[in-house]
Amino acid sequence: MATVSVSATDEGSGVDRIEFAEGDGAFQPYTAPVMVHQVGQHTIRYRAVDKAGNVSEVKSVDFTVVAPPTDDSTPPETSATVSGEKDPSGAYIGMATVTITASDTGSGVNRIDYALGQGEFQPYTGPVMVHDAGAHTVRFRAADKAGNVSAVKSVDFRVVVPPAEDTLPR
C-alpha cells in the first residue's frame, strides 16, 4: 500500500481547494491522503485552485506498489452470479447482470478481470450488464497480491428481447 499526501499554499487570496486524479482519470476533490492498495505502477496528478480562481500547474508523482513478502502460493477463489428477470425457459428478459466476486485468505485480492465471450480481459469494476439478445459467456479470473492468478471460469446465459406490450383496447 502507498499513501499520497498533498498540500498547497497561496500568498495571495489563499488556497480554495486541492484536486487530484489517479492516472488519466478525472480530477476530484482532495480531502484526505490518497491510499493506493493495488499492486503495480501508479500516477497521481494534483493541482490547487486559489480563491481568485487561479489554477496551479498540474504536477504528478509516479510510484510502484509491490506485493508484501509472502509464502502465499494459492490463487484467489472466484465466483459469478447472473441475475435479472427470467422467462419460463430460464432466459433473461431484456438484460442480465453478472456480478463477480473473489476472495483470498493469503495476501488478499489484487484485481478481478472479466471478458465478454472471447474478447480481451478488462478490469472488473462493478456488475456487468448485458443487453444484447442471444447466448452469452462471461469469463473471469482474479489475481492476489502475491501474483497468483486463478484459473479462468465462465458463466453462460441467454438474453431475449422483452415481449411487445399489448396496446389493444380491451
- Per-residue pLDDT of 155-166, as tens digits, reads 999 999 988 776
Structure-block grid coordinates of residue 90 = 430460464
CATH topology of domain 77-160: Immunoglobulin-like (2.60.40)
Mean pLDDT rounded to a whole number for the chain: 92
Please give the Cα distance from 52 to 115 (Å, whole number).
47
Q: For residue 152, report the phi and psi dihedrals to the nearest 5 degrees.
A: -75, 130
CATH architecture of 2-65: Sandwich (2.60)
Are 65 and 2 in contact by the 8 Å Cβ rule? The answer is: yes
Confidence of residue 71 (pLDDT cuts 50, 70, 90): confident
pLDDT above 80 (res 39): yes
Mapped onto helix, strand or coil, the DSSP state of residue 71 is: coil
Q: Are 102 and 168 in contact (CB under 8 A)?
A: no
pLDDT higher than threshold 80 for residue 168 = no
pLDDT of residue 8: 92
Q: What is the pLDDT of residues 119-142, one digit of tens each?
A: 999 999 999 999 999 999 999 999
Percent of the chain with pLDDT over 70: 96
Residues of the chain with CATH 2.60.40.10: 2-65, 77-160
Max intra-chain CA distance, the chain:
75
The single residue listed with the C-alpha cell 497521481 is 44
**Rounded to whole angstroms, how far apart are CA atoms 151 and 169?**
55
Residue 170 reports pLDDT greater than 70: no
What pLDDT does residue 116 have? Answer: 96
